[in-house]
Structure 1
């Protein structure tokens, strides 16, 4: 009996009263296989769609469930993924991959005839899954109050997810069999990969059965596979399993070992969830994964090797206990394991959200209005909207264009969709450009290595194509109904690149180049030495600043074919090197100045103000000489927003720099010199952010000074992390038993009690307790050192003073 069976009754009863349910079920519970099939067989729902985040898992689950029904795939059990559809009129349970579900919702927001949508392995938090769930929740709210949604995962952040979904949670027990844990500490973390072959060998010597070895990527799989050849006995087969393999190779990898033999499956995190490989009772976990991280500065998604979270490690270990008791060998110490993050960072917080912003617009809303568990940053949204304008998917008001709809309907990444659509439209003017675009996209998708000069690489693939390149090329030539050309029209290559990567057009700056998005990148030592402008296809390396592939930009041709990229503007900016204003008429592509000439109009007040605003935005508030004096004001305003968010707006420096035109610009009309700007009364402008009533309120809850019993007004020092601090002579607070309260008691006040010579004697947040306890020791010492000062036996009722005894 599978663990999920024990909570099946509870789950179905929850659906009787709720349309959304959260299911937490660790690996091996049967949530991906037994549960949807049982819901189908019990006729609880007429038609079910189950989202599987990984293609390999989706395919295997679909075939397994069809076999359980004694049917071929495509009857009651269906499968729909890119380039693979098995459905019929009899299909009632449909397994789909992420992008497919989003498209189904876009095409039919009511999800006609669908009764239940299941989100399996939701803890992986892919961008597509977050998008699909947001759309499904809106469908449920706006169109289908009868639509049921089941969110399932092995490792949920239960309380947070439950709060977001406002639904009941059902929890199931985990794996059917225990999994022992063995840790293999590392002397040198940098040499983790070199340690893996020895760990695999050790595990196979100590344990029986087959093994599943988790590695971050294909390069590491290849290395370990080669190292194991001479280490393992002849009765052990070593196979690889990763997402880019063809279906037949994947099926061979997950098939059980032949009778009398053992198997070692070297895999990526593609095997982490919803996949059972028969005979596996050993998991050997490198603790690493390959993760894509979007660099918002360069607009490049970089692949990095990172440590996995604890939840992912638990998922991986669960593979060993699916069919019998097993063991997991973890590379690294137990202490290292405990220091890992609890969960992986959701893709929406670390990836390019351009597809999501486009999806939201097609859905008819803005991304900030979608019910998302995590909201992307405003900077990420701004970057995505800027790119979509360059791709002509959005107009200047960020409204969806007719071309934007076609890009969305094209069914591939927005950059590539724009390139292929526009290249097809340009074919009559630029013969051969559409075929060239197919060659370019085939090169990007096949990831075939070549020369840094893009033209050379494409010509090489035209003459002697790699197998992977040919496969991708044929797909696109067939889809666009283009015949293979007799020669490549490489004279249009920079236009093709610009159609996909307008933000990667670059202008020479010193020894490198600056991108249209403003980021600086490094050139290749042997290429483009005399080029003033480049069209860059691929970037990477350290901070995404290394040019991997590019070609020289044909600027006149680009201006002729893509005039929307060229913006004419009048610019006024302060030249710090020359200490004067620069006033020019420019033609720009993003941050690239293509052409500039002096402006024949005088600098007006508005232009000069905007120049000052740009300068402040560049240097921050530290540009002002008064900044050290206003730091405490900013800290108080930030604390006020933290404790009273309904009354006070966010006013940290980042927020202030974003809204300079609102609060600073009105004060700059008469400022004509840099020295004037630096001496500007910053405190006055900052105070103006608050109404008179809020200024008074700020003084009440976070006073600049506190009046102590002696009559002195003592300045309070505030900090963003930790208590506020009041440094005062001890004699001045005699008679004070209750520590003053800030923010209605929400912010602690630390009192630093000083000697007559202003030296610290005591730190306390509880004056009454100090007077009754530690004060006696202080009194004894101070009487001898400062005999002229007043040191009463009971300071809690004594008169406070800032004078010596003779003048009291």
Structure 2
């Protein structure tokens, strides 16, 4: 066993870790920052008997950490990187036949498993910093568990983290847990408030000066991204002592710059390191005694409305805040300055990326593993992917040609995986003509990076400006326009070199591409976002997916008839186009013939309440040409029914008799459910339009052609003969009152029917009329001879006995020509006044 010196808190636990993995194929290791787990555990496992000379793969979420971990382990062995210890990251690999520990980033691990599911020659996989819960890390762990369960039961899996829910992880893995105490000195937490109108970078600069005065050693500042690092660096450069070094640290730096930030400072020199959350875990920054934490990070968020993943600045979790603060207590007591109010409450832990990311890349990996939407089998996820986002990802893959109609991966889809770009960009690269591959490499690098443009040019929505800036910088050997960030362009060039190697391109692109070259290539990445200008609104476009988009008022793309929208911000009405490129419409006919269609379509004209027919030529949802054609009777019916569904039943020309018939059916259905009358409420009628309404709309082109009585006939046709007889008897439209007159019953949902009748017409009637098989008493609205309400009752007998004498006394003098007998029980009912002279 390789025995590192007893210099790390994890060291006493190393034999137990080896033994635990000998007894069980899975293990969870909890160890705080500084415990030494990243660099000491893999070395301690090298000569474990169960490893049998096979290789250890160690997954590191970040490239900086992967390089640093491999470098440190190689130094401990007295070797250079690439011998016993090596690493493989995107576009860079330092390994050899002698490599026993290979540190890999997340995408590399997935490719290794997909290419060799048996993982030949691999004895263990170590998942470091698993608490970061990156999408590729969750996928890699799920695939590794599947391999272990089906092909390689002897494969060892070790999940390590500084801040994770160890109990939940152990239950998921069915694995034992080992915890390390770590090594940490006390850290004082302070919450220095910002001053009025103070920007983040000025707040950072002020507290950095305070931290240097109050603490020995270096200061580590956590900022959300490269842009904020650059701003803070500019402010600090004018306010700090010249002997204090300013060191940026983020993922877009070159290798030499990253190593400089991670190396110890020269004796007598103090440093302020401005870092993103790459410094939160895995990497060690020697000499840090104070941490300034803005409490912010930049993370990907998927917007399902725009279908695009954007980097958003978000508040960190409490676990991340604790881990950042712990960086101040690695070598001695330190201080953490948190630039947010002490009363602010943070979420306990970070949300898994799988829950908030665009999942087309994951869906493609699953399809390559043999898992489709119709598959019964799945993977052993810690947190399964959301079904809706996964379905949306599969729809995009089908559009790109990566999945077939059954959801299985196509040959193109497998080539896309091998290329290693996102599915959209991989589709564009693999469909590009060979003479354009050098430009494709530049586009892949530029699309993966933030815009290198600065100043006025930064507001340009023409993506070609970014390509032009890169080519000018390249052609002038590092020179270029003042509006471009030279450091950003250098990092983009490094990525472009990697893509050129992968695409087997020997010469870099240069000069100014053809005006449509960029758009023509990227149209294959965003076929759903090919956009055509609105003839009446020059800033508005219709996308091929049917959505609307607009250019901003200061656009440099004004007048372009066709665009491919590369970056969109979703807004309530039309999405705002943030970056786009013009394209040649002739290319669409050549490359997207299946998207063109000429067909006859029907439209509902709201103003005319009628169906119109057109012949349209479309590209996707974009209408290129439209002409009016006659409406065929057979065509109109589906459109009329659709119009009723969208507008509701009130769109129909209901007659009063039809409304009353519907109300009677609803009432009797409630009162006498044993009759099994049809359901005529809104929801059921809308759901069954084809059965009851369609026969009466045959041959009609508009709803106004439907007669009101047709609706009565349609409703009546829903009843059989016996039901119609029972309806007339138990929920009649009218009642014959003692005066011999027929008076209408008014029906309302959930209420007894109402009979409005003059009091004199009911003389001699003792009991209240009933309907619904005698179950429902009618509500009587008793009226004066002038038709004004006197009494509302369902107890006519009680009215005659108790209330009528008072009514008679009050109204007899007002209506002397109408009968007011002392005995209403025996009086003759009438609807007329008394003859003159009586």
Higher Cα radius of gyration: 2
Select between 204-213 and 377-386 the one with higher mean Cα deviation: 377-386
From 441, 444, 449, give the equivalent of 2:447: 444
- Cα offset for 1:234? 3.1
CA shift digits 1:707-729 (9 cap, x unpaired): xxxxxxxx9xxxxxxxxxxxxxx
User: Residue 533 of structure 1 corresponds to which residue in structure 2?
Assistant: 562
Task: Say which of 417, 428, 431 aligns to 1:408.
Answer: 417
The Cα shift of 1:570 comes to 6.0
Distance 1:152 1:610, change over 3 A: farther
Mapped to 1, the partners of 2:194 and 2:180 lie a distance apart of: 35
Distance 1:161 1:615 in 2: 52
SS of residue paired to 1:370 = coil
Matched, 1:397 2:406: yes
* Separation of aligned partners in 1, 2:512 and 2:333: 60
Structure 1 position 227, deviation (Å):
1.7
Contact 2:516 2:583 in 1 (8 A): no
Could you say which residue in structure 2 is the equivalent of 1:744? Answer: none
Query: Is the aligned partner of 1:217 residue 2:242?
Result: no
Is 1:550 the counterpart of 2:580 in the alignment? yes
Structure 1 position 89, deviation (Å) = 2.3
Q: Deviation per CA, 1:729-758: give whole Å up to 9, x if none.
A: xxxxxxxxxxxxxxxxxxxxxxxxxxxxxx
State the alpha-carbon separation in 2 of the partners of residues 8 and 576 from structure 1: 76
Structure 1 position 444, deviation (Å): 2.7
Distance of 2:599 and 2:131 partners within structure 1:
47
Conserved in 2, the CA contact under 8 Å of 1:433 and 1:489?
A: no
Structure 2 CA distance for aligned equivalents of residues 240 and 663 of structure 1: 67
Alignment-derived partner of residue 531 in structure 2: 506
**Which is worse superposed, 355-364 or 555-564?**
555-564
- In the TM superposition, 1:300-699 aligns within 5 A as 300-336=308-344, 339-366=345-372, 369-424=378-433, 432-445=435-448, 447-449=451-453, 450=457, 451-455=460-464, 458-459=467-468, 461-463=470-472, 465=474, 467-468=489-490, 470-477=493-500, 479-481=503-505, 483=507, 484=509, 488-509=513-534, 510=537, 511-525=539-553, 526-540=555-569, 545-566=575-596, 574=604, 576=606, 579-581=609-611, 586-596=616-626, 602-603=634-635, 669-671=691-693
Whole-angstrom CA distance in 2 between matches of 1:613 and 1:210 = 69
Check whether the contact 2:516–2:581 (CA below 8 A) recurs between aligned residues.
no
Q: Which segment drifts farther, 191-200 or 210-219?
A: 191-200
Q: Quick one: structure 1 residues 554 and 334, their matched pair in 2 at CA, closer, same or farther if it must change by over 3 Å?
A: same
Distance 1:596 1:315, change over 3 A: farther
**Pick aligned residue for 1:126 from 117, 134, 149:** 134
Could you report, residue by residue, the CA deviation over 1:439-488 in whole angstroms, capped at 9, with x for unpaired residues? Answer: 43344345332543344554565455455355454544453436446763
Superimposed CA distance per residue, residues 87-116 of structure 1 (whole angstroms, 9 cap, x where no aligned partner): 222222111111100000000001112121
In 2, Cα distance between equivalents of 1:365 and 1:312: 34
Question: Aligned partners of 2:551 and 2:367: how far apart in 1?
Answer: 37
Q: Could you tell me how far 1:436 is from its partner in structure 2? A: 4.2
Q: Give the whole-Å Cα distance in 2 for the aligned partners of 1:381 and 1:674.
A: 42
- CA RMSD between the two structures: 3.3
Match of 1:28 in 2: 34
Q: Does 1:94 align with 2:124?
A: no
Residue ranges of structure 1 left out of the alignment (5+ in a row) = 617-624, 626-659, 681-714, 716-808
Give yes or no for the alignment of 1:19 onto 2:48.
no
In the TM superposition, residue 533 of structure 1 has moved relative to its aligned partner by 3.4
State how 1:136-285 maps to structure 2 within 5 Å.
136-186=144-194, 191-285=199-293
TM-score normalised to structure 2 length:
0.69
- Residues 158 and 584 (structure 1 numbering): CA distance in 2 closer, same or farther, change over 3 Å? farther
Q: Offset at 1:8?
A: 3.7
Aligned-residue offset at 1:41: 4.3
- What are the superposed Cα offsets for residues 396-449 of structure 1, whole Å, 9 maximum, x if unpaired? 33322211111111122222221121112xx5xxxx544443443344345332
Structure 2 SS opposite 1:440: helix
What is the number of residues matched between the two proteins? Answer: 627
Q: Can you list the C-alpha shifts for 1:55-87, whole angstroms capped at 9, x where unaligned?
A: 001101001001111122222212111222222
For 1:555 and 1:58, locate their aligned partners in 2 and report how far apart those are by CA, in whole Å.
45
- Which residue number corresponds to residue 815 of structure 2? none
> Which residue does 1:723 correspond to in 2?
none
Asked if 1 retains the 8 angstrom alpha-carbon contact of 2:91 and 2:498, the reply is no
Distance 1:463 1:192, change over 3 A: closer
Task: Go from structure 1 to structure 2 and tell me whether the alpha carbon gap of 1:665 and 1:442 turns closer, same or farther (over 3 Å shift).
Answer: same
2:119 matches 1:111: yes
CA–CA separation in structure 2 for the residues paired with 1:210 and 1:454: 40
- TM-score using structure 1 length: 0.71
Partners in 1 of 2:187 and 2:526 — Cα distance? Answer: 48
Task: Say if 1:276 and 1:322, in contact at 8 Å, map to a contact too.
Answer: no
With over 3 angstroms needed to count, the CA separation of the structure-2 counterparts of 1:409 and 1:606, relative to structure 1, is farther
> Could you list the per-position Cα deviations for residues 200-230 of structure 1 after superposition, in whole angstroms to 9, with x for gaps in the alignment?
1111111111111101111211222222223
Q: Shift of residue 308 of structure 1?
A: 0.6
Give the CA deviation at 1:44: 4.9
Query: CA separation in 2, counterparts of 1:389 and 1:517?
Result: 14
Give how far 1:198 is off: 0.8
Q: Matches of 2:138 and 2:685 in 1, distance apart?
A: 37
SS where residue 313 of structure 2 aligns? Answer: strand
Unaligned runs of 5+ in 2: 1-5, 475-479, 481-488, 649-658, 660-682, 695-701, 712-749, 751-838
Distance 1:191 1:674 in 2: 62
Q: 1:437 to 1:251 in 2, by over 3 A?
A: closer
